[in-house]
Structure formats: structure tokens, C-alpha cells
Structure 1
Amino acid sequence: MTATEQVLTNARLILEDEVVAGSLAIRDGMIAGLDSASSRTTTAIDCQGDFLMPGLVELHTDNMEKYFQPRPRVAWPSRQAALAHDAQMAASGITTVFDAVAIGDVDEQSMRHGALHEMVGALAGIVDDGLARVDHRLHLRCEVCHPETLARFDELADSALLGLVSLMDHAPGQRQFASLEAYRTYYQGKYGLDDQALETFIAKQLANSERYSGEHRRAIAERCRARGLALASHDDATIAHVAESREYGTRVAEFPTTREAAEASHRQGMAVMMGAPNVVRGGSHSGNIAASELVRLGVLDILSSDYYPAALLDAVFRIAEMEGGYSLPRAVATATWHPAAAVGLDDRGRLAEGLRADLLRVKPVDGHPLVQRVWSAGRQVH
């Protein structure tokens, strides 16, 4: 055994098709081998029968923004914010994260525009300086109805960290907010608008969507195709939405809002992604399709923690336990090798020799999966 080798033994290994008892060896940051027997190596780490699974791969979380602005209009020092976010990812078992930053916002007073380059720069800084615990990539969430979205996208389109782009339109009366009543409730609560201010706000969002959404959607999709960037749709609700997404070469269908859109996306070969909080809470906070229903239909391919990092691992085990749910290996795949494959990362997400040793040791306690240890490229980070 070399000095760079570690062995984890007495574990329940969650493989692609089955769960087996055994051991796993790590060498130079990679999985060096698996064995169905317990290791006799004296320095082996005894996992005490806990699950050993691939580290989680997160394609869509805006969690980082909360650290840069912990309260409304309160900015936090950027490097500390990025490091605190990174630490939470590791503690949640997420070893690859596509940090979502928004381009364009319906709220003109939002910190997103001013902090956009600061967030990207801070993220790149901790990666370049070797301070990041986990592997960070960039996900640009493009609000296509915003007048300046295309120009801002072009400023970041060639970032070395960029790996995923999603196209969104949060204008009222369609997609996530097909229900105007749900839209009014959400935005009045979020921004504290009175009735007259809300109607002015709605009129402006509808006008911007009509003017900019189609043009920006096409232009950004073309730029992604030219650069080989993975593209995601967002909140598709109709067959027409799905057809448009397919035409643009979309790989990931983020949060389809209806059963018909989810099933059509799945048939068209797009990986259907739903929010882990939707699973944990038992439904969508916007009144859209429940993720559990898509599990029972067999068309949920990817889970995302969205706004709550700890929800991802919790949701994996919940869909493995629910009636009509997935087997544990298939449930784990929704947060490991399925999202990795959807964005072209074929070096991680499975327990297999030669892949990155991104690993997660999990102990079920009272029906809840508790993170015990996390390894990123063979280095223990939690």
C-alpha cells in the first residue's frame, strides 16, 4: 500500500444497480478498486455498516447568494461568503456544485446585478487558490425577459468555470406562475407591494417578456451551442415549450410545472430535474406538479437542492422509501451520475474504478440520512 492510498471497509456500497457490502480503495484522488470482502488492511477506515455512495452532484442552487446578502441590502465580504457557502456544500454531501448566479432580475433593487461579477470572481478566487473543499462550476440563470440579459451573458460566456446555462422567464401568467393569484401572493409577500404598485409591476414584466424573451432565448441558445455549453430549460409548462427547448438543444428540463411537460421532456431525451425541497415538503410551493408524482411515473431523472442544500440527500432517501418510488441505487443516481452525465462529466458520480473519489458516508438515523464523512477527489473535506 502506498502513502497516498486509503481503504474504506465494512460499508454498504451503493452501486449503479445494487447495494453490496464491501470495501473501496482510494489512490491519488481516484477510486482504485472495490471489493465485496472486508479489508484486512490495518489502517482501513471501518465504516461500521454505513452506506458509502458517490458524492452528490448539484446542478442548480442559488445558495451562494444568501451568503453574499444574508439580509436585504446587507452585503457580506465576498471571499468569506464564498468560503462559507463552500463549507455548507461539503457538509451537505455535495462534492460537485454548479453555483447558479442570476443574470437579470425582476426586482430593480436586487443585489444580483451589482454583485454578479463579485460572486463569480470570489468563486474563481477560492478555486484558483486551492481553498475550495469541493468542485465548483458556474451556472448562469438567464432571465430572458430582462432588457440587459444578453449583454450581461456575453460578459461571462467565456468564463473558465461556466458549465451550464438556463433560460428563464418569470413573467406572470405562464410557466412557474401560470396562476396570476399565485404570482400576486408571491411578489406582494416578497417585495411588500401594495395593490396599485403590484399591478404596475405586473404590467412592466409582461411588456418586458413580450419585447425581449424570444430574442434573448434564441441568441443565448445559439451562443451556448457554439461553445458546447450545456443548456437547460426552466419551468416548461406546455408541449410547445418542450418543443422549443428541444429545438435549442436543451439537455436538462429544469422544474417542469406540469405532468405533460415533464413526460414530453423525458420522451425527447431531456433529463427532467425537480427540486429536492418539493420532495421533502410534499409538493411545490407554487402549486405546480409534485416531484413525487413524477417519481411514480418514472420520469424524474435529476434532483436539485435548489434553495436548501441539505434537502438533496434527504430527498434521495425519501424517494427510495416512498410507495411507488425508486430503488435506492436509482434514487442515488438522480443526485449523482444522472446530473453528471447530463452536463458531460463522465469522470464522477458512480462507485467505479478509475473515477474521481468523490464519496459520501451516510448513516440512517430514525429514517433520516446523516452525513458522516465526505471526500472530494480522495481528500476528506467533512
Structure 2
Amino acid sequence: MRSESEVPIPDNPYSIPVADRLKRLPPYLFGKINKVKYEKRVAGIDVIDLGMGNPTDPPDPLIQEKMTQALQDPKNHRYSVSNGIGNLRAEVSKRYWKRYGVRLNPDDEIIACIGSKEGYSHMCLGLMGPGDTAIVPSPTFPIHMYSVMLAAGNVIALDVREPEKFLQNVAYTCDHLYPKPKVVVVNFPHNPSSTVIEADFYVELVKLAKKYNFMVISDFAYADICFDGYVAPSFLATPGAIDVGVELTSMSKSYSMAGWRIGFCAGNKEMVRALSTIKGYYDYGIFQAIQIAAIVAMRHCDASIETLAQKYQNRRDALCDGLERLGWEIERPKAGMFVWAKIPDQYASMGSIDFSMKLLEEGGVAVSPGRGFGEDGEGYLRLAIVENTQRLRQAVREIGKCAPVATAEASP
């Protein structure tokens, strides 16, 4: 009889059978860029990071002071309710009325989220399942697509850069698909392409939603970062919108509170209830001190929003002016935190991923390749305007050195 030590051990004694939902996710296209960026920084090499919409500006001092005060109250360190404290939801209701003329019941038409991304992902779990289909905008911010997939739903991505054509394609899809789409996702100002719309777009979208019986999720994360007098319309300000959908907003961009992770879902109470049910099982709510600071932000810090939007506009101009002098074709965004830049023709054959790697490896400038946002993003780069104007001008100089354009004038 053999002892245990003599029993042969197979080369692969045990495998980890991950869930099928993970197998539906494609390889992470930004992984290679992030790896090189990390290696450069570890080696002490300066990298100008325009790859992620990660605000570099701190919140208003008043918000920070309130957070400091709230930290001293022992009650704020306990579990918080998952839908957000009552005063916070009431403040969101007041803000919608003040800014958009929309009346919302804070008890059942508003819920606090751990950032709008969490709210969207869990909303997909609350609304969708096997056999359900969602229409999402293309080029596609990854979470818009992958949250549907993780909820076992199907995705149809429609190009959103011509909004009127997008609406026509939504109607065509609903006419020719069975079962009809259950959810339509919109995101204006759009990430990554910075496409914007006027209020009449939502009027037509609500009509389509009622005709074809689909729900609408509006991702309104960049609501307040607008330029040149443009004002982004709220989906919920549209007559009948609350009958068919919800809107997700965030403190991340408007108040530079990205790391605080606080946002909101507002609108149709049955959809809000679905999200509340999911969240009730998944989390205990946002740290209460953050919620209290968020109340102060909405009550007293609107002036800082205007200041911040002007700062982003100055950054947009610095980046676009520089790239235009290099010979790039640039369409200046009216809103958002990104410039969606067409790759110069002489480098187009490289593809957006390889061209992004070239800028990073040779110029020390990290950007997001358009291909990372789906096939409709190929040929473009997304450049975040999160660095100060001096750093952005430095980025332009480095881009000009490692990727000169044949027709370009002298670099700045």
C-alpha cells in the first residue's frame, strides 16, 4: 500500500471555475497602457496622464471643513441607510427644482449611490436579465456596456455622434427586434466623444419610450462642466420623462469629489425602488460624514462649479490650440472633461492602441485609445483635460516631438 506522499500529484491539481458572466467580458484594452504607465512612474519617469477623467482639483474648502467637523461626531461612524439620509435626498430634490424646474419626491424618487457608476451598474441588475436587450451609445463608455452584460443582458451599440440619427436608429431597432429593447441608455454630455444635445432630443426620446415601451437611463455625470454658454439639458426636465426613466448625477465632476464616491439616481419611482432593493442587499450606504459634506456642497458651493467649469474651458483651449498648431483636426467640445481627437492621417494606419503606446513610450503622455470604447472609437484618442494648462502645453510639446505631423507649423 502506497503512503500519501507517494500518490502522484497532477500538474494542474485544481482549477477555479469562475462564473460564466466573467467569461462574457473581453480583455481589458487599457491594460497594456496602464502597465507601461505604472512602470515608467516606478522608474521615476514623468508621465503626463490624460488617460482618465480623474479630477486633480480639490473640493471647495467649505466642503472639506464640513467633512472634518462631521468626522468628530461618533454617530457618523455607524452604518448608514443604503438609500441616503433624508436631508441629503431632500437637498437633491431642491437642486433639481432650482436648476431644472423638476419636482421630485425625496422619499421615493431619489436615492443616493456610491458614485453614478455604482448606481448604473446596480440599476442594470435591478432591471435586466437573460434575454433582455439594452441600447447603449457608441463609442461606448465601458461600464454602459459591461454592466448590461454582467446582468446577463444583450447589448446593441448605436453611434451617438449624430443625435438625430441615433434616435432614428433606436426607432428602427425597436421596429425590427423581437423582443423589443427593454432599456435605452443615453449619456450627454457624452463620454468619450463629448457629443451634446438640446432639450428637443429628450422630447423625441420620451415619445419613443412610450411608443415602444422601453425604459430610459440617462447618465448625466458631466451636467455642470459646460463651455461657451452651452447649458446641458436634464432628461428629467422633459414632460413625461419621469414616467419612463431615471437620471444619474454625480458629485465627482461638478464638485471635484471623485474619490468621495457619492452620486444620485432620480426619477421613476419603480425604477428607483428596483435600485433600492438591489442596494439593500449589496451595501450599507455611503459614509455619513460624506453625505453631510455633500449637503453643504449643494447648499453653498454652486459658485465653485462655475469657477471649475471656466478652469476646464481654459484647459480645453490650451490643449486644442496646441494640437491645432501641430496640424491636428480638432472639434472643440462644448462640455465634459475630454477632447475627442482624430488621429492625424499619417498615423491612422497604426490604430489607436499602437499610436497611444507611441505617445506614452516616446513622449511620456498617457491618453485613452478610441478602440477602448468600441469599434466606432477607432481612429480617435480621448484626452482628459484634468491637468493644469502648463502641463497640457507640455503634453502638446511632447506629442509634437514624438509624432510630428507633416503639415504642422512649428510646435508651441
Work out whether the TM-score is over 0.5.
no
TM-score range, shorter chain: under 0.3
**When the two structures are superposed, what TM-score results if normalisation uses the length of structure 1?**
0.26
* Higher strand proportion (structure 1 or 2): 1
The structure with the larger Rg is 2
Higher relative contact order (CA 8 A, sep 6+): 2
